[in-house]
Amino acid sequence: MLLLSVYAVVIWSAGNGLLPLLPKYATAFGADEVGIGYYLALSYGSIALGTLCAGWLAARLGRIKVQMVVMALAVPPILFLTAGIATFAQLVVLTAIVWWFGGISLSLASIAAGLSAGASERGTVLGIMALMAPVGSVVGGLSVGYLADVLGFSGMWVALGLIWLVCPAAGLMVRDVSPGPRTARAGSRPEGLWTTAFAVLLLSAVLGSFGSFIGGFGRSLVMRSGFTNGEITSTVAVSGLATLPFPVLLGYLSDRFGRIRFLGVCYLLGVGGLLVYSVAATLAEFWLASALVAFVSYVSTGVGSALVADLVGRPAFSRGLASYSATGWLGGILGFAVGGMLFAALGYSRGFLVGGVLLTLALLMLAPIARFTATGHARKA
């Protein structure tokens, strides 16, 4: 778990630290709000594709450890190339490639953790993996903006490429795990991958992610003027600090009291954060909103991943977890692609409220899932 956590936290730190800066960086190449939205949507499409590929690769090829090392080794050279780009098109292509490898790598690490966990500890173990997202927000939020201010964007890309080399080093020492079948816990009745409950969970997760990414994208656009690089990325650090204890805590509690109620709490807090975004003007207000919305992107994922294991069982876990993980990136695609047009048409305040409506719909969709589950385990759909 320590090695898997180190592997994941480097990727999360780079991604979470870069994300709020990319709109500002793209603006320097002449991109407008709609163009930036499509750029980030394409990047998240690459993450989604990489995440889905990881599920297929893990199920078909095994050797998860080897795959983790190979995928991580491919990223530093691309980051070094990004330091010398001259056009927005080059930025789009190279970012998409890095995000693809990052999506595969993160998903492989989560699959390895999930396959190593027993049925009674999945929430805790996958909560630890989910914890790496807020930890990465703290590390990336405090460091990436600082690197950009001190070294410039070109120096920042080189530094990130060197830091990324920690990932293959950690992957080399990870104990490999087989995706083969394991006897399910008594009382659990996995029904395969495409149950009704699992399909509804995926749709709810897409809507929740869609709303939360509208919030994060809008925050980056609003803060482009009047805030420094360090202040922009500090919102990510604060959101990570605010949510730091909760992925493991809620994962542990969900092992004992069921998953659905804790997913609902995360979505409800996210709705509150989008309401704050709609009126935010000061750095402190952006901090508060970011912290609340982060419960959707950082905390709910661990509980949701454990629920996937309950619903689909071990034989389909690799593909099931990859599909669920991809919902976050699919929501990002929608949030960025639609968000650029949404903010241009409605303004920022109303755009944030639309995100709140989407999160509310995601919350309401959790109720049908509860009908197919009992104490966190799958009933027959």
Q: In degrees, to the nearest 5, what angle opens at C-alpha 297 toward C-alphas 98 and 53? A: 40
In this structure, what is the dihedral angle of CA atoms 74, 129, 181, 121, given to the nearest 10 degrees? 170
Q: How confident is the model at residue 375 (pLDDT cuts 50, 70, 90)?
A: very low
Q: How confident is the model at residue 60 (pLDDT cuts 50, 70, 90)?
A: confident
pTM equals 0.71
Residue 227 region by backbone torsions, left for phi larger than 0, else alpha for psi between -120 and 50, else beta: beta
> How much of the chain, in percent, has pLDDT values that exceed 90?
27
Q: Which residue has the tokens 């689909």?
A: 312
Structure tokens at 281: 């003007």
How far apart CA 328 and CA 161 sit, in angstroms, is 25
Say if residues 17 and 139 touch (Cβ distance below 8 Å): yes
Q: How confident is the model at residue 304 (pLDDT cuts 50, 70, 90)?
A: confident
Residue 296 per-residue DSSP state: I
Q: What angle separates helix 229-243 from helix 283-294, to the nearest 10 degrees? A: 40
365: enclosing H helix or E strand:
none
Q: Could you tell me where the DSSP H helices lie in the chain?
A: 2-18, 22-27, 33-61, 64-73, 75-82, 88-116, 122-164, 166-172, 196-222, 229-243, 246-257, 260-277, 283-294, 300-312, 317-346, 348-364, 366-371
pLDDT of 289 > 60? The answer is yes
pLDDT of 165 > 90? The answer is yes
**pLDDT tens readout for residues 320-364:** 878 888 888 888 888 888 887 888 889 889 999 999 999 999 999
What's the average model confidence in pLDDT over 297-308?
Answer: 84
Q: What type of residue is 347?
A: G
Q: How confident is the model at residue 190 (pLDDT cuts 50, 70, 90)?
A: very low
Three-state SS sequence of 322-363: HHHHHHHHHHHHHHHHHHHHHHHHHCHHHHHHHHHHHHHHHH
**pLDDT tens readout for residues 63-112:** 788 888 999 999 999 999 999 888 999 999 999 999 999 989 988 888 88
pLDDT of 376 > 50? The answer is no
How far apart CA 295 and CA 157 sit, in angstroms, is 29
| Complete domains list, the chain, with CATH | 2-174+191-378 (1.20.1250.20)
**222-226 contacts: CB < 8 A, separation 24 or more?**
222/280, 222/286, 222/348, 223/20, 223/286, 224/23, 224/24, 224/27
What's the average model confidence in pLDDT over 136-159?
Answer: 86
How far apart CA 380 and CA 185 sit, in angstroms, is 16
